[in-house]
Amino acid sequence: MLTIYNFLNFGGFMKITLLTLLFLFTAVLMGKDLYVSQKTGSNSNDATKTAPLKNIEKALKKAKDGDKIYVAEGNYFGLRGKGYLEAKKTVELYGGYSSDFSKRDVLKYLTMIQPTNASSKKGRKALLTFTKSKKGSKIVVDGFIFDMGMKNSYSKTKGKPEGLETGMLLLPPAKEKGENPTVTEQCIRFKNPASSGDVLIQNNVFLNCAKFGIQAGHKQGDFKVLNNIFISNRMASIEVFGTGGKKGPKGPTKFDGNVEIANNTILFTWSRIKDFKDMGYGVRVMTKLTYNIHNNIFLGNILTGVDNTRFNKNEWLQLDNNLFLMNKQGDLMYTEAGQGVLERVMVKDFGDLEFKSVKGNSGKATKLPINEAYLKAFLNARYSEKADYDENSPSNQYRAAMGLNKQGKLKTKVTMFGNRYPLKDALKLFGAVKDMGAQKIK
């Protein structure tokens, strides 16, 4: 028989059991904390603050979905210097810590993924790849320096204006003698359709990326790119394309995710090849997603600051309070839905656009702590072609006699293209303009 005393005890036991289960469930959701320190860690350690691992790659292999990885100062680019990292779990990555994790200062305790050119022989992948995520998950990348400037191959003599560290960026198969060719991959890549939860990328530097600073396939959830520096990247600094939603014959009809791009400083995004004609955007608005692009600085992008030519609905785009300066061929590349006519729109004409919101954008001259030699060279950057064709040359006369097409040579010249931008100068841009572009990291 169950007495009142026993019943109360039974009820108390049930409460304790439920509380215990709730605690365990919450702990699983929160994940574990793992620590990495290149200077003080060992991969045989248990990844605690006092016994950290030595390599980010080891932590990524050890981590489970929902874990947080804290990384101290150092240069991390894969075990045995292979040149890249892959995250197969949905984790949160935080850099910028002192070696003993007692302090965090992203601009003092530099946590870098900066591979050498030697790693390019085998490590021909993005610097950091996320291979999957799921609905309800969270991915964070906060406080890292992604720099391909030492991995790329640059000409020693061609396209090298006075005062620059390197000559022009060399695209494969071209390379300098004794080097490996440039790896034309992203700094951060989310494999399609990698991000199905929430993504936050903030307080980072994306420098000299040879193919996109960030490129992501995003299915659903919020994808936020906040308070980062992007300089001398190729094709586009940020490209996030939707893999959910619906698409009709004249463009997307439904979106499944949202992108916010705010308080980023985006400078000198270069074209696909050295002719300055194909791509070279700060942000590329893609399909099946809404975009809220605000409080960014777009300066010196080789084509335009923002590209909006993928027929996303105008009411899915907010473009507010951005600063546009010295973009080579316009501030916005725009296609009116259904018309297919490309327009290069300057910021002064943004008022004619029928976006969900387009207000507070400016082209006002603003002083920034930019590397002076790089800025001067960019303003004078030119591409030229010269045809060397002589139809009466002996070789062409012979070819004509043999029924072959006559030939000539096309000589091209570029004054600069994708030249390496110095990391020390990139860091100066945090907090350069109040409320606009990347702010000081607290």
**Band (155; pLDDT cuts 50, 70, 90):** very high
In a domain, 434, yes or no: no
Beta strand pairing call for 251-254 and 246-248: antiparallel
Residues 25 and 42 in one domain: no
- What percentage of the chain carries pLDDT values higher than 90? 67
**Band (3; pLDDT cuts 50, 70, 90):** very low
In a domain, 294, yes or no: yes
User: Number of folded domains in the chain?
Assistant: 3
Section 202-216 average pLDDT: 97
CA–chain centroid gap for 96, Å, is 18
pLDDT at 388 over 60: no
In a domain, 435, yes or no: no
Residues 11 and 51 in one domain: no
Residues 218 and 239 in one domain: yes
pLDDT of 271 reads 95
Structure tokens at 9: 């005890």
Residues 188 and 314 in one domain: yes
Section 226-231 average pLDDT: 98
Residues 322 and 257 in one domain: yes
Structure tokens at 226: 């906040």
- Work out the angle at residue 227's Cα, subtended by the Cα atoms of residues 355 and 302, and round it to the nearest 5 degrees: 65
Sign of CA dihedral 303, 309, 312, 317: positive
What range does the domain containing 223 cover? 33-376+418-429
Residues 321 and 210 in one domain: yes
Q: Has this prediction a pTM greater than 0.85? A: yes
**Band (215; pLDDT cuts 50, 70, 90):** very high
pLDDT of 1 reads 43
Residue 196 CB contacts under 8 Å (≥ 6 apart), including other chains: 133, 134, 135, 137, 218, 219, 220, 221
What's the Rg (C-alpha) of the chain?
26
Residue 111 CB contacts under 8 Å (≥ 6 apart), including other chains: 71, 72, 73, 74, 76, 95, 96, 97, 143, 144, 145
d(CA 264, CA 270): 17
Residues 213 and 315 in one domain: yes
In a domain, 439, yes or no: no
pLDDT tens, position by position, 24-47: 444 445 689 999 999 999 999 999
pLDDT at 272 over 70: yes
pLDDT of 296 reads 98
pLDDT of 23 reads 44
Structure tokens at 178: 């004794």
In a domain, 438, yes or no: no
CA–chain centroid gap for 400, Å, is 51
Residue 52 CB contacts under 8 Å (≥ 6 apart), including other chains: 35, 36, 37, 40, 41, 45, 72, 101
- What percentage of the chain carries pLDDT values higher than 70? 84
pLDDT at 238 over 90: yes
Q: What is the DSSP secondary structure assignment for residue 350, as one 8-state letter?
A: G
Residues 143 and 72 in one domain: yes
**Band (435; pLDDT cuts 50, 70, 90):** very high
CA distances 64 to 137, 140, 324, Å, are 12, 14, 42
What average pLDDT does the chain have? 87
pLDDT at 392 over 70: no
Beta bridge partners of 94: 70, 142
pLDDT tens, position by position, 339-383: 667 888 999 999 888 899 999 999 999 999 999 999 999 999 887
- Work out the angle at residue 205's Cα, subtended by the Cα atoms of residues 199 and 208, and round it to the nearest 5 degrees: 115
Residues 361 and 338 in one domain: yes
Residues 211 and 333 in one domain: yes
Choose the weakest-confidence range: 91-100, 376-385, 398-407: 398-407
Is the model more confident about 337 or about 185?
185
pLDDT at 410 over 90: no
Residues 313 and 216 in one domain: yes
In a domain, 189, yes or no: yes
Section 313-321 average pLDDT: 93
Residues 227 and 310 in one domain: yes
pLDDT tens, position by position, 95-135: 999 999 999 999 999 999 999 999 988 888 999 999 887 78
In a domain, 396, yes or no: yes
Specify the residue for token string 């939860």. 197
d(CA 110, CA 207): 14
pLDDT at 12 over 60: no
CA dihedral 104→105→110→111, nearest 10 degrees, is: 40
Section 295-317 average pLDDT: 93
How many C-alpha atoms does 227 have within 13 Å on its Cβ side?
16
- Read out DSSP for 29-53? HH--EEEE-TTT--TTS-S-SSS-B
pLDDT at 336 over 70: yes
- Work out the angle at residue 264's Cα, subtended by the Cα atoms of residues 303 and 298, and round it to the nearest 5 degrees: 25
Nearest to 430 by CA among 245, 230, 246: 230
